[in-house]
Every structure is written in structure tokens, then in C-alpha cells.
Structure 1
Amino acid sequence: MMSNDNNKQPAHQPVPAVVRKTNVFTSVIWLIPLIALIAGGWLLMKDIRNRGPEITLLMDSADGIEVNNTVVKVLSVEVGRVTRIRLRSDQKGVEVTARLTADAKDMMRKDTQFWVVKPRIDQSGISGLNTLVSGSYIAFTPGKSEETEERFEVLDIPPIAAIGQNGLRLKLIGLNDKMIGAGSPVLYEDFSVGVVESAEFNPQDQTVNYTVFIQSPNDKLVGENSQFWLQSGINIETTGNGIRVDSAPIPALLSGAISFAAPTGGDKGKPAVNDDTFELYNNRSEIDNLPTERSLYYTAFFKQSVRGLVSGAPVEYKGINIGAVADVPYFAQNDSLKLFENGWIPVRIRIEPERMELNADAQSREYWQNQFQTALSKGLTATIASNNLLTGSKMIELDDRPSESAKLKPFADYNGNVVIATRGGGLDDLQAQLGSLLEKFNKLPLEKTVGELNGSLRELKATLNSANALISKPQTQNIPNELNQTLRELRQTLQGVSPQSPLYGDVQSTLQSIDKTLKDAQPVINTLKEKPNSLIFNSNTKDPIPKGSR
């Protein structure tokens, strides 16, 4: 019974409580994804906020460009990176996609210019050496246009104008015999004031088209009347005053340059504006020889050679340059077909009145036309003269001196121009005269004359030998001694004659005559002793001139 009592449970037994322990490590693990999510969202928002536009760059080739390696820079600051490279659909190059930062968002304008920076050697020097280590990159110049753009052409060379630079952009067109490249300087009075942006040859009209940029404030030097010309590295001019060497600045020596200035004796006119077009001349001399509104034209005909006479050669009057040769030769229609028939070479000259208005007021064209016509009526003639003996260049010289030489004036008017009378002159005329003189001299019978002269000399030599033989004989040399002996004997004989006798007087008179004769003969005798041939040759007379040489 006791066992039953022991197995008896109490009526209300308490239930044990279950105590669960919290794991702190498990709760922290759930915070990591949350933090990562927050950080990722923050980075995403930052990337979206810093992300700029995606642009497309059109290039001829992808040389040096690599995806995720090639960067895009402006002012040497990285603002983007290349993300994709693919061929263009027209197979004319490649299409490069680049992602820019937000800093470059407002720089993508319609006139923004891109180019590839890589090692380069040109007339401007050496550039891009730093890319030998870092690799090529794409640079750009922000534009100023109001329109935005996402597709750009990449240039082969860097643009000329710097960022934010003000200036004047002009177009030049010329029929030039040479062409300079982009990057060449633009000069004003040998000072660099701009640069050539582009140079292209047009095969249709065979002209060279340039785009030049004049930096501010130098753009104020350009006016609507400004004249542009090509400036070569070294310009050598040969004139009548000698040889002049004009050396341009060092950049022009390497690649050439374009120079400009106001017209000679004029002003530049109104200020030029962007995209104005000017004509480009080959050199400054071509500008100096441009005709003016008052230019006077005349024609001169020459029988002599016109070698060395070219267009632009000076026309001078008594050393003053008053014009230039306009055309040589200057044949009217079909007149050149009669070249061998007439032998005339027409030359058209241009007279510039402003070159004669030295320290004087400008006169009308009619005034100078009347002045020149009056000079022609008084005998003004034209002559081809030497301009430089070293180079053989010629010029036209106007002269009003009277001359006996024949004047050539086949027409009073030729092709609408008054004809100026011409005459020979200069070295060509002198050579012609010398040639004529030598021709006459060659026609002389010189051989016959020399033969006769040699015969006369032989006869004269024989005569001299005979005279010398006669003088050298003892009898001839004893004549003076014998005469003296005879006179002494005569004096002894007369001593016996009385002075009062008539015979004495006659003898004395005879002796005086003989003595005078001997005194007169003494110089002759002395001369014969010194020069035995003096009786044949008279030293006071000139030598005879052969007849053949007169």
C-alpha cells in the first residue's frame, strides 16, 4: 500500500520554462547585406550623378586606340574613356564610343573639335613625346555653339586656335606656283600674328584655298584693302642695284609663310570680318607690279634680241623707275606668224603716274597722258638696256637725247596702244658694232701688206749695212784729220804773204769760210761717230704707217 502512496503524483505540478539564448553573431550577418545595399545604392547614385554623355568618334583608323585604356582629355585632364571600337557601316573608317564624365557634359557642342595626341614631327616642331610611355589619347577643344552634338569627326592634326581664343578667320584663294601646309605662320612686317589652319588644292580651277586665323588683337591690322602674298624662306632679288637677300623668320624658313600689308601708298580700308575672302599672290613683286586705274600702256618694237627682258622688268627714265614691262612678247592676233618676215618683237610697257608724282599732288590720268604724248613728239625713244650684268636681266630705258641711229616705229598704233619709237643701244648694240668692225678688218689684205713691209725692211737693212761699211773704212774716218792737216799747211804758207797784199785778204776770207764750214760740219761729224746710220734715219720724224692698216 505504501508503494501506491509513493507513486501518487501531486495534483498541480509546475511546467518547466524553456529559456532560449539569442545569437548576436547571427543578427550582425543580416546587417552586411543591408550595408552593401546602401553602399551600392550610394555608389550608383554617385555614378549616375557623375556620368556624362556617351559620344561617338569617327576616325580613319584605330591606330593606338584601346578599349578601357585610351582616355579622353581636355587641357590634360581626364574626362572620359573609350568603351567600344567597331567598324563603320560604310567601311570608311572606325567608330569609337567613349563615355565622358559629367564635367564634360556641357562641352559637347556642334563646333567641338577632337584629335588624337601621339608623337608628331612637323614644321611647328616635335610634340606628343609623353605619349611614348603613356600611350596615345584623344583630346578635344570645347566649342562655343549653342547646339549640342554627340557625333564628331576626329582630326588628323591638332586644331590651330586655342581654347577660348578670339581672332579673325579669313579665306585666301590664289593661282600659286607652290603650296604651304597647315601650321605655317601668318606674318605682318615679319611679326607672327596668325597661323594657317588649312590648305587645300582645287583641281577643277587649279587654285589653292587657305583658311588662316589671325589672333586678337592682331586682327585689327586686317582691312578690306589688305593684300596677301606668299613669303618664301629666303627671297633673292637681282636688280640694277645689285643682289638683295631677304630672309624671313625661322618658321618661314622651314615651311614658308603668308604675309599681308596695306596697299603701298594707301590704307587698309574698313576692318575685315570673319570669312572674308582675299586673293593670294605669289610674291610681293607681283603686288608691286599690279596695274592701277591711272596706268598708261604703250607698245615698243625691237629688232634686237629681247633675251633677259621679262614681265615685271623696270621701265626707267634717266634712272627713275616710272613703270614696268607688262607683256613680252606682245603679239596681236596672228602677228607672230610674220615673225621671220618682219623681225619685229613687240613689247608692251606700263607707265605708273604715281611713281612720277614725287613730293607732288596726284594728277589725273589725262594729265599724264598729255605729258607723255608731248615727250613722244619731242623724240622720246625706248631702248633695251642691261639691268644686271651678273644675271643678264634687261630693262626698258626711255631717253629723249638726240641720236643719229635709225628709229624703229612701224605703226602709230598697235592693238589699241600708242607705239613708242625705239633704237639700238646697250651692250647688244656695242657688240654689233664691234662685230662689224672686225668683219671689215678681216677683209683687209693683211698678208700682202705684211709681205711688202718685210721686203722693204730687207732693202733697208741692206742699205744700212752698206752705209756702215762705208763709214767703217779708214779713208772715211781720216777725212777730218786730212782737212786739219791741209789747214795747218795753208796757214804756214800765208805767213809769208804780206797782210797789205790783195792776195792775203782773199786767202784770209777763204780761210774764214772754210773755218765756218768746219764748225758747221763738226756736229754732223760727232753725230756720225755716235750714230753712223743717222744720215739714213731721221730721229725727229715718226715711223711710216703701212697703207694696208689705215
Structure 2
Amino acid sequence: MNQDNSSETRSVPARVNKTNVFTSVVWIIPLVALVAGGWLLMKQIRETGPRITLLMDSAEGIEVNNTVVKVLNVDVGRVIRIKLRDDRKGVEVTAQLNADAKELMRSDTQFWVVKPRIDQSGVTGLNTLLSGSYIAFTPGKSSEEKHTFEVQDIPPIAAIGQSGLRLKLTGKNDKILNVGSPVLYENFMVGMIESARFEPADQTVHYTVFIQSPNDKLINSNSRFWLSSGFHIETSANGIKVDSAPLGALISGAISFDAPKTGDSHAVKNNDQFTLYDSQSEVANLPDGRSIYYTAFFKQSVRGLTAGSPVEYKGINIGVVTDVPYFDRNDSLHLFENGWIPVRLRLEPARMEINADAQSKDVWKQQFQTALDKGLTATISSNNLITGTKMVELTEPRGSSPKLKPHTVYGGDTVIATQTGGLDDLQVQVANLLEKFNSLPLDKTVNNLNGSLAELKTTLKSADAALKSVNSLVGKPQTQNLPAELNATLRELRETLKGVSPQSPVYSDVQSTLQSLDKTLKDAQPVIQTLKEKPNALIFNQNAKDPIPKGSR
């Protein structure tokens, strides 16, 4: 039995079955999770764009996870961090962009903050009153990538994809315009100012302007730029001219330019340099290669005569005053000794070539020298009585007026003889007349006049007394009855003569006498009738009206 039991309890060898680990459900789930995670990671990498740094002066209106980054009004990123810059000169904003914006981050990409703004372009950014400010940018075209940018406070002038021409303007101006101010061509807005800064070292103003296409074709190498104020008042001999610019220029001012097309003009390139002048009148008075300079000395006041005042010959503008006064080196130290003020003039041959071919500078110098040899002189005349501006007028000499020509050449320029004229000359003549009038013996003349008036008064009193006597005589009844008495006497004389024979000589003489007397009485009848009607006819003219006495002063 023991043997049987031992045989029953003998162990049997174990059999091992091999199982494939990949067929186990336990390992399938982690594997699927790993694959999904990798796919999501790759997708995240593909959809996530670059992380950029934006440098700003202030974080006003910018919030983490709320402020978005847009291009063409499409969200392409979001602000994820804001911190102070290491140099304490602003803030550093970090923004995470989408993959769509990866190729847009170039070295010439421009960023700015969009917020409510009122400027010369109008009212913009009103939609941000509810949604909040956001950061916008214009994609660059450079091949160089960049991830740190300066954020501007205002939008750039050139829009996305907009072509045009950028120019550099420099001038010593007395004011500076704001970025965004318009650039005008004949009052048409063709561009805007992109940047403006003042350089203290040389006291110049530097601008960058952008001229949109196709307006950039107006610019050539001879173009001239000047500041244009919003409201311009110009006074001249023709009166007062008021010129108003467009609304944008009225608010902030503008830069204007012209485009003279001459044979030597050529096209310009980006970032070419031009000079910026203060006004259009300064541009109009710019010299050219044929300008001729002269100097004139005046002993009268030069008040009202300024640089830019016209120089005219018989009403034709032929030049301009360039310097008032124009003293040579140390010559102003003898101002009170000499008593004259030198003024520099510039004559422009182009203004004298009216409907004529252009002549050389030497030809015009010779013609003008011939006129000077004949006595052509310069005088200061009034240009506008209201504003008191003056001008220089070139005229032929007048009479024996003294001429002033202390030098033949002064400061390298030929000197023109001068003489007084205009209102100043009139004032001198009036002053001389008043001086002569004051030297007259007025007291003696007035005393004699008073004596003559007293004698006249006595004579008038005597005449008045005589008139009263005549009126009294004429008014007596005897004088008025004189014609009737004469008629009665004649009738009696006729009765007496009836006794005289008609054949006697006495009769004949008496008859002739009576006829003469009768004729005389007939002639006297109108006079007597006039005396009856107007007793004072013997003194005053009977055909004139009665004098009306004047009242006392």
C-alpha cells in the first residue's frame, strides 16, 4: 500500500503557455492614450504661433488674457503677460500668437494700440468703448524674422499692401506738425506725415512723409515742400487775400508741395531728402541760377520793409528784397555816423521775360547797368496803406532830389543810387511847408486884418445911415407927388404957349423944348415907378434878390 501511495503522490511536470503582451487589453489603453497625446501635442505645436514681445510706454487699456492681437480685424493672438521693462522706461508685453501669424512677424511689421481717438482724421476706435482696447499690426514684407517690436500709440500711415513713396523732409521751421497731419498738393490730400521730431543739436525739424500711390508720380527732383497753415491771410498791394485749407489742415496744419516740370527734373526714390520751407511765399522767392543782387542805401526809415518785400519797376514785379538791413562786416558800428541803412535786392530775369525767350544772366546785367548809367534810382514806396508794408520801386530820377550812393560796390554787390519818394517825400514837403507857414508874420497880418474889418464896419454903418435917409426922402408925400406936379406945370405951359404964333421963332423953340421935356419925362417915368415900388433901388441892384443877413457865428 505504501508503494501504491507513493506512486499516486508523485508530482507531474508543469506546462507553461506563452501569452502575447500586445493582445492584452491592459496595455492597449495606455498605448492609445500615448498616441492620442502625441497627436494632440503635434497639433498644438502646429496650431501655436510664435511668442512675441511688445515694448510699450504704458500698459493703459491692456489686460492679461483679455486684450487680443488683431490683423485686418481678425484675432490672431492674446496677451499672456505684462511686466515692467528692465530699464524702467515702459512695459514689456508678451503675446502668444496663432500659427496663422507666424509668417507675418517680419522686421518691418508695425504694431499699434487701437482705442478711442479724436484727431484730424476724425473719430476712430469707437467700437473699443465696449470691447476694450486691442493691439493691431500690419504685416511686414521683409525676409528677416523678428519677435520684439515697438508698439506705436497711433496707427501707421501706410495701410496693409498699400504702395507709395516715403520721403525725408528737413527744415529750420518755427513749429512742428503732428504725426498724421496731411500732405497736400493744390489742396488735395495725397499723403500724411509718418514721423516728426525736433533735433536740438542743429535746431532742425525732421519729417518722414508717405505719399500714396498713384500720387507719388507727382513728385520729381525739383519738387519743393513748405508748411501750410490752416488759415492764411496775405496782404499785398492788391489788397487782402484769405486762403483756407481743407478741414484736416485747419486743425493741425499741413505740408504742401508743387511739382515744377523742367528739363533737368527726374524721378525720386524712397527716403530721398528734401528741404522744408516755412511758407509758399518763401518758395516763390527762392533764387535761381540767373538771380542778380544789388545793394541800395536809404536815409529814410525802412519800417515796413522786410525780407520778401517786392521790388517793382513801373508796377511790374521784377525782384524781391532779401535782407533788411544788410550791413557789411562792422559797418553797423557807424550807424549813427553815416545815418544810412543798406538793403539788399535780388532781381529775377525770369520775371522780366514776359512772352519772351530766356536770356543769359550776363545779358540782363548789362541791360540793368545801362539803366543805372542813365540814372535809374531806387525809392521806398508804400505797398499797402492799411497794413503799412513797404516795397522798393525802381524809377527814373525826379527833378533835383538828392541822390544817395556812398559806395560803388558793397558786400560784393553793385550799388544802386537812391532818393526819397512816396509818403516819406510827401511828409518832408508838408513839413517844409508848415515851417514856412510858421515863419510868416501872422500876428501883424491879423492886426491889419482886424483894422480893416473895423474900417469896413464904420463904412457899413455910414451906408446904413445913407440908406435910411434915402428911404425917408422917397417916402415923403412931396417926392411921391412930384410926377403929378410936373404934369400940371406942363399943361399950364402949353396953355401959355397957345398965345404964341406958330410962325414965330419963339414958338418953334418952345415947341422943340417941350418935345424934349416930354421925352425926358417919359424916360423918367419907369425910374419913378421903380422908386415907388422899391425905394432902395438907387443903392442895390433891382434885379438881384434882397440880401439875407447871416447869423452870427
What's 1:455 paired with?
454
2:288 partner SS: coil
Deviation at 1:85, TM superposition (A): 2.2
Aligned partner of 2:382: which letter?
S
Which consecutive residues of structure 2, in runs of 5 or more, have no partner in the other structure? 1-7, 9-23, 545-553
Distance 1:530 1:363 in 2: 88
Distance 1:475 1:216 in 2: 110
More off after superposition, 236-245 vs 449-458: 449-458
1:313 is matched with which residue: 309, 315, 319?
A: 309
User: CA 1:426/1:525 → structure 2, altered by over 3 Å: closer, same or farther?
Assistant: farther
Q: Is contact 1:301–1:408 with CA below 8 Å preserved after alignment?
A: no
Distance 1:76 1:351 in 2: 59
1:408 is matched with which residue: 403, 407, 410?
A: 403
Q: TM-score, normalised to structure 2's length?
A: 0.83
* Matched ranges for 1:39-78 at <5 A: 39-78=36-75
Aligned partner of 2:403: which letter?
L
Distance 2:528 2:276 in 1: 96
User: CA 1:181/1:449 → structure 2, altered by over 3 Å: closer, same or farther?
Assistant: farther
What's 1:24 paired with?
none
* Matched ranges for 1:363-402 at <5 A: 363-400=359-396
Aligned partner of 1:489: which letter?
T
Deviation at 1:128, TM superposition (A): 2.0
Distance 1:248 1:120 in 2: 23
More off after superposition, 306-315 vs 468-477: 468-477
Deviation at 1:513, TM superposition (A): 6.3
More off after superposition, 503-512 vs 33-42: 503-512
Give a deviation string over 1:429-475, Cα, whole Å, max 9, x none. Answer: 33444454455455534642552343133113212212112202237
Give a deviation string over 1:91-116, Cα, whole Å, max 9, x none. Answer: 22222222222211122212222222
What's 1:99 paired with?
96
Give a deviation string over 1:260-281, Cα, whole Å, max 9, x none. Answer: 1124x84671101111110001
Q: Is contact 1:409–1:419 with CA below 8 Å preserved after alignment?
A: no
2:294 is matched with which residue: 294, 298, 301?
A: 298
Q: Is contact 2:81–2:93 with CA below 8 Å preserved after alignment?
A: yes
Q: Is contact 1:116–1:154 with CA below 8 Å preserved after alignment?
A: yes
Distance 2:334 2:512 in 1: 97
Q: TM-score, normalised to structure 1's length?
A: 0.83
Percentage of matched positions with identical amino acids: 64
Distance 2:118 2:230 in 1: 19
Distance 1:373 1:454 in 2: 64
1:235 is matched with which residue: 232, 236, 243?
A: 232
Q: Is contact 1:464–1:533 with CA below 8 Å preserved after alignment?
A: no
Q: Is contact 1:184–1:257 with CA below 8 Å preserved after alignment?
A: yes
Aligned partner of 1:380: which letter?
L
Distance 1:288 1:429 in 2: 31
Give a deviation string over 1:346-401, Cα, whole Å, max 9, x none. Answer: 3322211111111110011122222222223333333332222332222222233x
What's 1:7 paired with?
none
Distance 1:268 1:504 in 2: 126
User: CA 1:90/1:476 → structure 2, altered by over 3 Å: closer, same or farther?
Assistant: closer
What's 2:489 paired with?
489
Deviation at 1:229, TM superposition (A): 0.7
1:280 is matched with which residue: 265, 276, 293?
A: 276
What's 1:421 paired with?
417
What's 1:532 paired with?
536
Give a deviation string over 1:24-79, Cα, whole Å, max 9, x none. Answer: xxx98987655544433322110011122222222222222222222222222222
Which consecutive residues of structure 1, in runs of 5 or more, have no partner in the other structure? 1-10, 12-26, 541-550
* Matched ranges for 1:121-520 at <5 A: 121-263=118-260, 266=262, 269-400=265-396, 403-415=398-410, 416-441=412-437, 443=440, 444-445=442-443, 447-474=446-473, 478=478, 482=482, 485-486=485-486, 489=489, 491-492=493-494, 494-498=497-501, 501-503=504-506
User: CA 1:429/1:47 → structure 2, altered by over 3 Å: closer, same or farther?
Assistant: same
More off after superposition, 145-154 vs 483-492: 483-492
2:281 partner SS: helix
Give a deviation string over 1:180-231, Cα, whole Å, max 9, x none. Answer: 1111111122222111100111111111100011122222211111111111
Q: Is contact 1:467–1:533 with CA below 8 Å preserved after alignment?
A: no
Distance 2:528 2:341 in 1: 75
Deviation at 1:482, TM superposition (A): 4.0
Distance 2:301 2:523 in 1: 71
Q: Is contact 1:172–1:209 with CA below 8 Å preserved after alignment?
A: yes
Aligned partner of 1:79: which letter?
V
Distance 1:501 1:329 in 2: 115
Q: Is contact 1:229–1:281 with CA below 8 Å preserved after alignment?
A: yes
Deviation at 1:237, TM superposition (A): 1.0
1:473 partner SS: helix
User: CA 1:69/1:382 → structure 2, altered by over 3 Å: closer, same or farther?
Assistant: same
More off after superposition, 272-281 vs 253-262: 253-262
Distance 2:502 2:374 in 1: 94
Give a deviation string over 1:293-326, Cα, whole Å, max 9, x none. Answer: 2222223333433322222122222222111122
Distance 2:250 2:185 in 1: 16
1:422 partner SS: coil
User: CA 1:501/1:309 → structure 2, altered by over 3 Å: closer, same or farther?
Assistant: farther
Deviation at 1:172, TM superposition (A): 0.3
Deviation at 1:259, TM superposition (A): 1.0
More off after superposition, 403-412 vs 429-438: 429-438
Deviation at 1:538, TM superposition (A): 12
User: CA 1:504/1:419 → structure 2, altered by over 3 Å: closer, same or farther?
Assistant: farther
What's 1:19 paired with?
none
More off after superposition, 518-527 vs 414-423: 518-527
2:417 partner SS: strand
Aligned partner of 2:401: which letter?
A
RMSD, matched Cα: 3.2
